Amino acid sequence: MKAVRFHAAKDIRVEEVPVPTVKPGWIRYLDGPHIIPPNGQPHGMTGESPPITLGHEFSGIVDEVGEGVSGFKQGDKVCVQPTIYDGDCRACLKGLTNSCDTFGFIGLSGWGGGMSEYTCAPAEYVKKLPDDMGLDIGALVEPLAVGWHAVAPSPYKDGDNVLVLGGGPIGLCVVLALLAKGCKNIIVSEVSRRRREFAQSFGAHHVIDPEKVDIVQESKNLTDGEGVDVCFDAAGVQIGVDGGLQAVRPRGTFVNIALWGAKRVALDMNVMLFGERRYMAVVTYIDGDFEAVIEAIHSGKLKPHGMITKVIRPDEVAEEGFKALTDDKDNQVKILVDMSKATEVAAA
């Protein structure tokens, strides 16, 4: 079969690889470098290192069900919750699989990702989609679950004013999650004009350019002088943290979603101390978040249909996918790789 595989930074190839064998308790389905282990250092759960088949946001159709699996049948529409966890560490035993000691991702750490014609996953990772939900929308459940989980454990409640830092894909997913929960005052701070337009079209009530206005003062102006109750940071830049903390009202909460990599963030402890402001961090999702997102989409509360800005073939991933997300990221939210086109590529 055809698969998009990561070999090294800037080395992404479409290759022929064996169709995965279905193991007991697993399901195989048809298409739809923080976590990618270094060469020579296999991931603790998967035992794999590059080249690795990419794709952790994906959906597909069940092709084969492994021995011992119930509740699924051939032809079911599904998506996958790709977090890899051991199930018996201190975090997993508390249900915090997103904080597993050997945390990894299908499509980044191994086990075969969604950018392939077929892939397999443990049945417990597979989530059934409604029959009337398109696979394109099913592929959005994963990023939407990140936004959903950012809001779920936060202290956000009905009537709260919210500031979202960053109008990229995850910031927009937070906006959609907040709207699904009935938030009436969402402020998005984003430097890119196009991303501000996306945020507004997705339902944000106010969008501001932090290079032109003071986000602290503007947040107060838009909340009757109070400041926001919760600030979600999906940008991951120091200046955003500085302004976001001050935009939060006394005893409000700053929630970090951003992946900082090697950068270290500085927190102004005096701003936190004298306002008794709280700081918390959230990462990915836990069991129940995917199901909540699927239900919210199906009921019409969560409306992600404008998120897919481009559909490409697997042979276009390097130029029209990764390169576009680097060089043209302001005009892209989510780029869908249609693996059903892999056969056409092979025949071309």
pLDDT of residue 180 exceeding 80: yes
Provide the percentage of residues in the chain whose pLDDT is more than 70.
93
Give the pLDDT score at 241: 96
Domain co-membership, 120 together with 70: yes
Domain assignment of residue 161, yes or no: yes
The amino acid present at 133, given as its one-letter code, is M
Q: List residues bridging with 104 in a β-sheet.
A: 84
For the record, the structure tokens of 120 come out as 């397999």
> In 10 A of CB 235, how many CB atoms?
23
pLDDT band at 2 (very low <50, low <70, confident <90, very high): low
**CATH code where residue 313 lies:** 3.90.180.10
| Residue 200 lies inside a defined structural domain of this protein | yes
Q: What is the pLDDT of residues 206-245, one digit of tens each?
A: 999 999 999 999 999 999 999 999 999 999 999 999 999 9
Residues 251 and 209 in one domain: yes
Cα-based distances in Å from 51 to 58, 135, 243: 19, 27, 41
pTM of the model: 0.87
Residues 340 and 60: their CA atoms lie apart, in Å, by 10
Residue 126 belongs to some domain of the structure: yes
Same domain, 14 and 132: yes
pLDDT tens-place string over residues 249-306: 999 999 999 988 777 889 999 999 999 999 999 999 999 999 999 999 999 999 998 8
Question: How sure is the predictor about 34, in pLDDT bands with cuts at 50, 70 and 90?
Answer: low
DSSP state of 77: E
Residue 265 shares a structural domain with residue 174:
yes
CB count, 10 Å around CB of 192?
Answer: 16
- The total number of structural domains in the chain stands at 2
Per-residue confidence (pLDDT) for residue 61, from 0 to 100: 95
- Which domain, by its residues, includes 341? 2-139+308-347
pLDDT of residue 312: 85
My answer on whether 22 and 122 are in the same domain is yes
